[in-house]
Structure 1
Amino acid sequence: MKVLKFEDLIVWQKSIVITVKLYRHFEKHPDFGYSNQIRRASVSISNNIAEGFDRSTPKDFNRFLYIAKGSCSEVKSMLFLGFQLGYFSDLEMHQYFTEVDEIGKMLFGLSKSLDRKN
């Protein structure tokens, strides 16, 4: 089955879900610098998937998937920092980290499948 639009990609859907969760988690958080950065990094995941999908070649798409993967790593790093700062409970940290890690693995898999097609 060929995916015709980025909205059909499960990895894009999951990236939107985690972004909404993080936006809600930090809606009224006093540390604007931190909350703004983790939200921007999470938005970057879905935006790079979308932008890359609509590029003209698989090679272009793959480049944007690598950027999205980098944004995933940034969110994970921010999660570790936020946990150390007391912004997340143990359970929240585990849940967010697990979701972001899964997205990263999905991006890696999608990237590898594009490599095999080239």
Structure 2
Amino acid sequence: MKRQPARRFQDLIVWQKAHQFVLSVYRYTANFPKTEKYGLTSQFRRAAISIPANIAEGFKKKSSPDKARFFNIAQGSLEECRYYLILSHDLDYGENSAIQQEIQEVSKLLQAYISSILAPGS
């Protein structure tokens, strides 16, 4: 049985997981020191938001290279978040192993989605 293609970006599992990651980042950064409000908290949240936002934008692009470009931008934002998790841990801003697992899952799904888009005959 062949799966129906997604009709909306919200149907994509990779977008759903990326959105959940954003919600986790908001919960995690809510406990950061107030001095980080315009620093790490803001940067981390913006980078996290960029992941599902670029997935959503790329979803409606017509050509595979255009789609892949937006998903690659999402990958860049994901790696930025990966660094912010390292920094947050090193600054003792809270336990983040669960959120690290979330980012790993999003990373794998995003890579698989890009690979399927760029596969010959897709």
How many residues of Structure 1 are paired with residues of Structure 2 in the alignment? 115
The 8 Å contact of residues 82 and 88 in structure 1, kept in 2 or not, is answered as yes
Listed one character per residue, the Cα deviations across residues 51-71 of structure 1 (whole Å, up to 9, x for unaligned) are 000112121111111110111
Q: Please state how far the C-alpha of 1:24 moved relative to its aligned partner.
A: 2.1
Q: TM-score, normalised by structure 1?
A: 0.91
The 8 Å contact of residues 72 and 101 in structure 1, kept in 2 or not, is answered as no
2:15 to 5, 12, 15: 12
Q: Please state how far the C-alpha of 1:4 moved relative to its aligned partner.
A: 1.1
Q: Percent same amino acid at aligned positions?
A: 35
Q: Please state how far the C-alpha of 1:80 moved relative to its aligned partner.
A: 0.2
1:73-112 aligned within 5 A: 73-89=79-95, 93-112=96-115
> Per the alignment, in what secondary structure is the counterpart of residue 6 of structure 2?
coil
Q: TM-score, normalised by structure 2?
A: 0.89
- Number of the residue aligned with 1:24: 27
Q: Please state how far the C-alpha of 1:28 moved relative to its aligned partner.
A: 5.5
Q: Which amino acid aligns with 2:117?
A: L
Listed one character per residue, the Cα deviations across residues 46-90 of structure 1 (whole Å, up to 9, x for unaligned) are 00000000112121111111110111111011000000001122x
- Number of the residue aligned with 1:63: 69
The answer to which structure has the higher helix fraction is 1
1:32-71 aligned within 5 A: 32=37, 33-71=39-77
Larger-gyration structure (1/2): 2
In 1, Cα distance between equivalents of 2:15 and 2:77: 13
1:82/1:28 CA distance change after superposition, 3 Å: closer
Task: Point out where structure 1 has 5 or more consecutive residues left out of the alignment.
Answer: none
